[in-house]
Amino acid sequence: MAVMTYREALNLALREEMRRDPDVFVIGEEVGLYEGAYKVTQGLLKEFGPKRIVDTPIAESGFTGVGIGAAMVGLRPVVEMMTFNFALLALDQIVNSAAKLNYMSGGQYNVPIVIRGPGGPAHQLAAQHSQSMEVYFYHVPGLKVVRPSTPMDAKGLLKSAIRDDNPVIFIESETLYNVKGEVSEDPDFLVPLGQAAVRREGTDVTVIAYMGMMYRAMEAAEELAKDGISVEIVDPRTLQPLDTETIIRSVRKTHRAVVVEAGAGFAGMGSEIATEITEEAFDDLDAPVARVTGAQAPMPYARSLERLKTPTKEKIADAIRQVCYANGSR
């Protein structure tokens, strides 16, 4: 094991997979000479050259289409979005081509492509650069959607995504790139897609949260432990396919559930998880499923308003107290 940042873990995953498989290449804006907008591709151009680390014009639809075509003929492209907000410009390529080609070709074409980059709330990047984009993709048949929360998972899940024969949407977080953690240096280390992780064991309530919200839930759990409330935290890691088995098993143990997501709540990931819990574990619940979500509003630039827009430790703790019928809930 080595201690490294989230971005270094992603870099290591790319480096290992490119060494292992000559069909893997990276394409996107500033991935080569500039070494990535967030330095995830640092040093890769020097090691692998311009045929495998490909700088592109500012044309998301164009270079995503190039990646899809390359995947159709047997290569394994990793397409970097400078920010996933820019993937809006490539939605037709992703949704109408990458996600559907295997089905519409009767299985003649696989599309083993990874489309990766940062998304979700950042630090004062305002409305057009702080959107939680997973909602745009996780209900599209044919796409897998991954949101890794830790450096270990960043490496293991990215390697699994690159090896998968299906198109994978891999959304990171700008706020987590400098987070440090232990990471396996084994080049064969993988984290399977579709497998949730129990980040904290507890007995009174299950909190389902991922990415930055998982860390805020951990903070809330530490605070509530002082009041005798035992919180279990489940990180889905992969949103599609979703590991409902692990989530339901936890809820059946604790009998209460709080779902946290950074994006606006209406028709969001929290809605889907709350529905799964209600359908599968209704008789096990001692309280209604609670959701803590971002406000139904564009992300403001001002730091104080940004805090009002996104779930906080305090909001999560309040929701937990409410489902536990604990004194002090608001």
Instruction: Point out the residues that are catalytic.
Output: 60, 129
Residue 75: exposure state from Cβ atoms within 10 A (0-12, 13-18, ≥19): middle
Which amino acid is it at 108?
Q
Shortest CA distance to 77 belongs to which of 113, 115, 117, 118? 113
Task: Name the phi and psi angles at 198, rounded to 5.
Answer: -85, 110
Shortest CA distance to 63 belongs to which of 38, 30, 39? 30
Distance CA 255, CA 251 (A): 5
Distance CA 18, CA 49 (A): 11
C-alpha of 285 from chain center? 27
132 neighbors 120 (Cβ within 8 angstroms): yes
